[in-house]
């Protein structure tokens, strides 16, 4: 959600790394990275369902390409990682719903292409047009508020790229992180009221499929 100019501080020595390991803001940024990775995985799962039938048909008539056969092996997962592709039942529904909200939501001022993409990600759920519009409206409200928090955090990092734990900027980032977490929680909590009972049940029934594109670690959950 928040966008920093760099993914890691420059010139970080071993002692600095130890300090960051015990730093709440650093740990929070680690959780954010895990969330964004998880959201991307969920987006892939949502998108791939729409083209799975076509892909299976093509795979029966085509041979693996050189690029595919020489693809780079993925890095091993961290100890304790829950792979939704293997054990989707171990990922709580609440976590999965948070990831759906994060992965589907487009900017509140989305252009035509972004709106089409957002709808395409919802198509596998099988919602009615009424529920689709209701969910898109909820997601637009969420993104509008989340973007405000992103901009406020970016302003902090412009003036204080590495704020001291005792500084007001540091506390400001902690507060913004809490606000961001509450936004996601509130969006998920609003789903039953914003959707019809049938639409909400369809969303819950789709979660096992969405979980197949997710991986959950101890750092996945945002602070509440």
Position 60 confidence tier, pLDDT thresholds 50, 70, 90: very low
| Residue labelled with tokens 């300090």 | 19
Cα 110 from Cα 102, distance rounded (Å): 15
Phi-psi label, residue 63: left if phi above 0, alpha if psi -120 to 50, beta otherwise: beta
Reply yes or no on whether the pLDDT at 217 is more than 70.
yes
Cα distance between residue 22 and residue 9, in whole Å: 16
pTM: 0.65
Give the per-residue pLDDT at 75: 75
pLDDT the model gives residue 110: 83
Residue 219: pLDDT band with limits 50, 70, 90:
low
How confident is the model at residue 201, as a pLDDT? 97
Return the DSSP state at 107.
-
Q: What is the mean pLDDT of residues 159-166?
A: 92
pLDDT tens digits along 86-132: 999 999 999 899 988 888 888 878 889 988 999 999 999 999 999 99
Upper half-sphere CA count for residue 17 (Cβ side, 13 Å)? 6
> Could you tell me which residue, 198 or 79, shows the higher pLDDT?
198
pLDDT of residue 166: 93
């Amino acid at each position: 959600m928040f966008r920093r100019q760099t993914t890691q501080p420059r010139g970080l020595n071993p002692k600095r790394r130890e300090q960051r390991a015990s730093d709440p803001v650093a740990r929070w940024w680690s959780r954010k990275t895990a969330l964004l990775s998880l959201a991307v995985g969920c987006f892939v799962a949502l998108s791939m369902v729409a083209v799975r039938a076509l892909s299976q048909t093509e795979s029966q008539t085509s041979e693996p390409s050189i690029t595919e056969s020489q693809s780079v092996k993925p890095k091993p997962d961290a100890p304790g990682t829950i792979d939704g592709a293997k054990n989707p039942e171990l990922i709580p529904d609440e976590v999965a719903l948070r990831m759906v909200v994060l992965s589907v939501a487009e900017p509140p001022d989305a252009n035509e292409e972004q709106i089409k993409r957002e709808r395409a990600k919802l198509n596998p759920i099988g919602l009615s047009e009424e529920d689709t519009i209701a969910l898109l409206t909820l997601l637009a409200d969420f993104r509008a508020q989340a973007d405000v928090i992103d901009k406020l955090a970016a302003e902090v990092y412009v003036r204080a790229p590495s704020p001291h734990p005792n500084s007001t900027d540091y506390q400001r980032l902690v507060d913004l992180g809490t606000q961001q977490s509450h936004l996601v929680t509130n969006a998920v909590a609003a789903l039953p009221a914003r959707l019809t009972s049938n639409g909400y049940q369809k969303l819950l029934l789709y979660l096992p499929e969405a979980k197949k594109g997710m991986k959950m670690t101890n750092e996945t959950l945002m602070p509440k």
